[in-house]
């Protein structure tokens, strides 16, 4: 009876353990029970170091699936084809504008695939199940981390070359030159430190000179303003005098023009008289001038005789003179 009771107890414990295992497994897989997944291929042009099967697939940072297969592409051995399983959700869809890139969780973390969408509004890619290949392809782009890793050897080589050049620069004969340069720099800095007071005084003098120069510039500006005012006043006076002079010249020119017009009218009105005077009057005027000269000569002789002998001239005494004919 006791043996039978022990068997019942052992059987009950075993059955309870089996039921607990089934409950635990169901709890682990309950999130994936009833969910639907779609499969896509991503072609990477570069190496996918650090990416393994079962790696996470994120969409805009949200975990939406896993990596199911990694292999070299059959058509192009330089590319890597990665198959991913993406959970069907209502908040996003994989479109032709979506891009996949290889990312790292930290610098030394595991690799995962990040899917992003530029918002270009591309068409929704076909949704295939696990056995419905070939799967639609998601465009891949090179991540910054991949670029850094791939350029790391070149960067290391450049750093090594730079270090070698530095060693050549400071090694051997150049080391003595560098030491001499450093000593000269030390001597110069020591001299500058010793002449700090003189430098401070020079700076103070320059500051005073700058102040004086500022005051002088203010004075020069004031003088320039005064000269400008004087020049403006002089310009106004000259302009007034010039205007008055021009007005006077204008009046004189108008008067002279009027006089010339009057003279022209007079000449036109007396054209016949002027012509007669030119032909006859001038000849008569010449004859009159000749007769006038003879008369003046005769009168001069009479005056001389009268002055030399007034009584004889008046009363007939003294020298006998001939008759003086006075022309009519």
Can you give the pLDDT at residue 287? 64
The answer on 171 and 121 residing in a single domain is no
Can you give the pLDDT at residue 24? 76
The answer on 133 and 89 residing in a single domain is yes
Of 289 and 296, more confident? 296
Within-domain flag for 316: no
- 10 Å CB burial of residue 115 (0-12, 13-18, 19+) is buried
Across 11-22, average pLDDT: 84
The answer on 178 and 104 residing in a single domain is no
- 10 Å CB burial of residue 43 (0-12, 13-18, 19+) is middle
Confidence of residue 326 (pLDDT cuts 50, 70, 90): very low
The answer on 182 and 226 residing in a single domain is no
Of 196 and 5, more confident? 196
Among residues 258, 273, 288, which one ends one of the domains? 288
Q: Residue 38: pLDDT above 80?
A: yes
The region of weakest confidence among 170-179, 268-277, 302-311 is 268-277
HSE-CB at 30 with a 13 A cutoff on CA atoms is 7
The answer on 44 and 129 residing in a single domain is yes
Across 124-138, average pLDDT: 86
The answer on 106 and 47 residing in a single domain is yes
Tokens 């949200």: give the residue: 62
The answer on 135 and 55 residing in a single domain is yes
The answer on 265 and 220 residing in a single domain is yes
Domain with 239, as residue range(s), is 208-288
The answer on 182 and 269 residing in a single domain is no
Confidence of residue 118 (pLDDT cuts 50, 70, 90): confident
Within-domain flag for 150: no
- Gap between the Cα atoms of 61 and 50, Å rounded: 19
Confidence of residue 58 (pLDDT cuts 50, 70, 90): very high
Considering its fold, how many domains does the chain have in total?
Answer: 3
- Within 8 A by CB and 6+ apart from 88, the residues are 35, 36, 37, 38, 127
Within-domain flag for 151: no
Neighbours of 29 (CB within 10 A): 9
Q: Residue 321: pLDDT above 50?
A: no
Can you give the pLDDT at residue 81? 92
The answer on 106 and 64 residing in a single domain is yes
The region of weakest confidence among 98-102, 295-299, 306-310 is 306-310
Within-domain flag for 284: yes
Within-domain flag for 6: no
Can you give the pLDDT at residue 66? 92
The answer on 212 and 254 residing in a single domain is yes
The answer on 104 and 77 residing in a single domain is yes
Across 118-124, average pLDDT: 76
Could you give the percent of the chain with pLDDT greater than 70?
A: 68
Length of the chain: 328
pTM: 0.41
pLDDT tens, position by position, 152-190: 677 788 888 888 777 776 666 667 777 777 888 888 888
Within-domain flag for 114: yes
Within-domain flag for 305: no
Confidence of residue 294 (pLDDT cuts 50, 70, 90): confident
- Gap between the Cα atoms of 195 and 173, Å rounded: 33
- 10 Å CB burial of residue 113 (0-12, 13-18, 19+) is buried
Confidence of residue 324 (pLDDT cuts 50, 70, 90): very low
Within-domain flag for 21: no
Contact, 270 vs 281, CB < 8 A? no
């Amino acid at each position: 009876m006791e043996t039978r009771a022990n068997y019942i107890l052992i059987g009950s414990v075993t059955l309870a353990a089996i039921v607990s295992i089934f409950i635990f497994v169901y709890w682990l897989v309950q999130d994936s029970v009833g969910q639907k997944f779609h499969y896509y291929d991503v072609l990477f042009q570069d190496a996918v170091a650090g990416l393994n099967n079962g790696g996470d697939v994120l969409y805009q940072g949200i975990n939406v699936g896993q990596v199911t297969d990694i292999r070299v592409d059959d058509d192009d051995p330089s590319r890597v084809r990665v198959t991913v399983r993406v959970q069907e959700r209502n908040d996003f869809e994989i479109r032709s504008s979506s891009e996949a890139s290889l990312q790292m969780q930290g610098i030394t973390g595991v690799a995962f695939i990040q899917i992003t969408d530029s918002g270009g509004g591309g068409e929704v890619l076909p949704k295939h199940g696990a056995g419905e290949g070939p799967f639609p392809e998601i465009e891949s782009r090179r991540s910054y981390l991949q670029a850094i890793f791939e350029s790391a050897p070149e960067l290391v080589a450049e750093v090594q070359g730079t270090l070698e050049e530095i060693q050549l620069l400071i090694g051997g004969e150049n080391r003595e030159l560098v030491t001499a340069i450093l000593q000269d720099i030390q001597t110069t800095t020591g001299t500058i430190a010793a002449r700090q007071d003189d430098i401070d005084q020079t700076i103070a003098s320059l500051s005073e000179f700058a102040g004086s120069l500022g005051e002088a510039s203010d004075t020069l500006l004031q003088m320039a303003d005064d000269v400008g005012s004087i020049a403006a006043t002089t310009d106004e006076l000259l302009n007034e005098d010039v205007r008055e002079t021009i007005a006077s010249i204008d009046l004189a020119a108008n008067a002279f023009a009027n006089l010339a017009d009057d003279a022209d009218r007079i000449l036109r009105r007396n054209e016949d008289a002027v012509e007669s005077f030119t032909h006859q009057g001038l000849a008569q005027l010449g004859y009159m001038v000749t007769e006038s000269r003879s008369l003046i000569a005769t009168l001069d002789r009479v005056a001389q005789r009268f002055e030399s002998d007034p009584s004889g001239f008046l009363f007939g005494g003294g020298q006998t003179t001939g008759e003086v004919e006075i022309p009519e």
